[in-house]
Structure 1
Amino acid sequence: MVELSKRLAAVVRHIPRDSVVADIGTDHAYLPVYLIQTGRAKKVLAGEVTAGPYRAAQETVRSCQLEQQIDVRMGNGLGVLQPGEADVAVLAGMGGKSIISILEAGSVVLKSIRRLIIQPMRDVPAVRRWLIRNNWCLVDEDMVDEDGHYYVIIVAEKGNEKIDDEFILEVGPRLLEKQDDILVEYLKKRSANIGSVLQKLKDAKSDEARLRAGLLIKEKDRIREVLKLCQ
């Protein structure tokens, strides 16, 4: 059986059983194979935009003899799907801006997707903002520490949600609600890093440095508030 990284294993936890899943940017198709081997999904549509990963995904599926349950397709983003083909779409391991571009280009297909599971490698707050502005609710979030890197998984379903607090969008509303242990660990490290930067900026006299220091002090204060709530 295929073994998944911690971040992909966290993605799997949010996939409803017996779903038809679209894995956009499937790379070697390890996630689709795992979903079928464990009976988590009844069918997976695996999309890749470049020839190398597309062929690698085909080979993985072929070697596992899962061609009937996993359909590997070459194409850009959600463009590999027809409306109504999938219940759940996974976009994992890409930059947040790339994910937003894929979602914007796939608006027709998105209408029939019941759940989005997104794991951005960066620009996570931008993804949260886009989802909320485009009538998706953040129904759950996870954070994973893998080899010293922190990864966020966002689970979204259609609905209306309003979050105006930029700090909450930065940190993650559902992570805050759960008082997530890994979030607490991350915030403690972030606070320590801010302290180190402020120490270097304390004698700086430029307006830019003072502005940056002021913003960092505000962030450090908000982190302190959150950590108090999580005690």
Structure 2
Amino acid sequence: MVKLSKRLLTIANIVPEGARLADIGSDHALLPTYLVQQGRVPFAVAGEVNKGPKEAAERQVRDAGLTGRIEVRLGNGLAVLQPGEIDAVSIAGMGGALIASILDAGQEKLQSVQTLILQPNVGEDLVRRWLRQHGWHLAAETILEEDGKIYEVLTAVRMEAEHRSDVPLYAERTVEETTLRLTEETLLRMGPYLIREPKDAWFRKWEYELDKLDMIRKQLERSTSESADDKRAELEVEKNRIREVLTCLRKDRP
């Protein structure tokens, strides 16, 4: 029986029971193998863009005795799929820009898909923006920490009648009992669900982000160009926005 990391197990628990899953960039087909072994999904496709990872995934599937129930395919993103054969897609461990580009390039392969489970390593806001612009409702967000790294898992479903628009999800609002005004941009960047009930891992993520912005600012201080001055000013605005959110939400915690 395959054992999953905390990150992959979090994703596995989100996959709808009985779904036909495509796991893009499958990392030894660990997630599909686990889900089929558990009886959670009847069939899965493991997609890999390079020959070496594809062969490793094939060995995993063969050793687990799941040939025929998991198909390992070589191809770029959703190009490995046939229209109509999959209900759910998972894409994990890539940058948000790459995930968005994979989804964008493979839109015709998503016609039968009802659930997207996406775990960007960076650029989560780019994924949220793509979902919002292409008729997908952000249904849930999860944040977790494992081996010193923090991951966000975004779950999206097709925009049905009750979700004609994600406008309410990203509507500007004031946090109760504070003066903090959450803008649409802040919600897209920091997560509309995560910001509603922030966990310790979420606070740590944004403290790390502040540290990164400080490092960039110090590098920019070595330059005297006008563009560097503009960039430093932008960084200060961003840092102040993040600090304000963290400070107010810490006060708001029970």
| Structure 1 residue 22 displacement after superposition | 0.8
Instruction: Tell me, yes or no, if structure 1 residue 229 matches structure 2 residue 249.
Output: yes
How far apart are residue 32 of structure 1 and its match? 0.8
The amino acid across from 1:78 in the alignment is L
1:165 is aligned with what amino acid?
A: E
> How many angstroms apart in 2 are the aligned matches of 1:60 and 1:175?
35
Counting only pairs closer than 5 Å after superposition, residues 1-231 of structure 1 correspond to structure 2 as 1-159=1-159, 160-162=165-167, 163=170, 165-194=184-213, 206-227=225-246, 228-230=248-250, 231=253
Following superposition, the deviation at residue 142 of structure 1 comes to 1.6
Give the count of matched residue pairs: 231
Q: Residues of 1 paired with 2:65 and 2:7: CA distance? A: 25
* Length-normalised TM-score, structure 1: 0.88
In structure 2, do the counterparts of structure 1 residues 85 and 192 end up closer, same or farther at CA, with 3 Å as the change threshold? same
2: distance between equivalents of 1:36 and 1:64?
A: 10
Taking a change above 3 Å as real, the CA distance of residues 215 and 60 of structure 1, as seen in their structure-2 partners, is same
30 and 196 in structure 1: CA distance in 2 versus 1, 3 angstrom threshold: closer
Question: If the length of structure 2 is used for normalisation, what is the TM-score?
Answer: 0.80
Amino acid in structure 1 at the alignment position of 2:91: L
Q: 1:91 to 1:195 in 2, by over 3 A?
A: closer
5+ residue gaps, structure 1: none
Aligned equivalents of 1:71 and 1:186: distance in 2? 36
Is the partner of 1:144 in helix, strand or coil? strand
Point out where structure 2 has 5 or more consecutive residues left out of the alignment. 160-164, 171-182
**Structure 1 counterpart SS, 2:85:** coil
Inter-CA distance 211–108: structure 2 relative to 1 (3 Å threshold): same
State the AA in 2 paired with 1:133.
Q
For the residues of structure 2 that align with 1:51 and 1:196, how far apart are their CA atoms?
38
Closer, same or farther: CA 67–204 of 1 in aligned 2, 3 Å: closer
Shift of 1:219: 2.2
Larger RCO of the pair (alpha carbons < 8 Å, separation 6+)? 1
Q: Could you list the per-position Cα deviations for residues 154-210 of structure 1 after superposition, in whole angstroms to 9, with x for gaps in the alignment?
A: 111122313472222221122112323311122233335545666787897653343
Does structure 2 conserve the Cα–Cα contact (< 8 Å) formed by 1:138 and 1:174?
no
**Matched residue type, 1:87:** D
RMSD: 2.4
Pairwise CA distance, 1:87? 1.1
The sequence identity of aligned pairs, in percent, is: 42
Distance verdict in 2 for CA 1:98–1:155, change over 3 Å: same
Give the 4+ runs in structure 1 shifted more than 6 A. Answer: 199-204
SS of the aligned residue for 2:195 comes to helix
Residues 205 and 7 of structure 1, relative CA distance in 2, 3 Å threshold: same
Supply the distance in 2 between the matched residues of 1:204 and 1:47 (Cα, whole angstroms): 45
